[in-house]
Amino acid sequence: MIDFSAVNGEWQKYDFNRIVDDYGNYLVQSILPNSSREIQLKIVNSFMKNLVEYSNMKSSSNVIEKCLEYCNNDIQVSLIEKFTNEIISSFVNFS
């Protein structure tokens, strides 16, 4: 097993919105299963405002999927609520 403690300490230096790309998403996916709730929350908060947009992109949707798989229940619920609210509001504003 890889020790991600050094990466977890260094991750704050990077903007996860920029590294959630074809290669950076693998790093984020690797950090999530072994990270603390605090780090999971910081990762999720870094892309929460663009959740719907990122869920439609291949590499970032993989990260969102891993968040739903490995993050704590409260983080999972907030992701699902945000996504649901965004989808509902887009249909409400459409009419």
Could you give the angle at the alpha carbon of 43 between the alpha carbons of 38 and 45, nearest 5°? 90
Of residues 32 and 73, more confidently modeled: 73
What distance in Å separates the CA atoms of residue 89 and residue 7, rounded to the nearest whole number?
A: 37
Q: What is residue 31's predicted lDDT score, i.e. its pLDDT?
A: 84
Give the per-residue pLDDT at 1: 44
What distance lies between CA 66 and its chain's CA centroid?
8
- Predicted confidence band at 92 (pLDDT cuts at 50, 70, 90)? confident
pLDDT (tens digit per residue) in 58-69: 888 999 999 999
Residue type, 46: S
Give the mean pLDDT of the chain. Answer: 81
Q: At what angle do helices 37-47 and 24-31 cross, to 10 degrees?
A: 150
Single-letter amino acid code for the residue at 94: F
Q: What is the mean pLDDT of residues 6-20?
A: 59
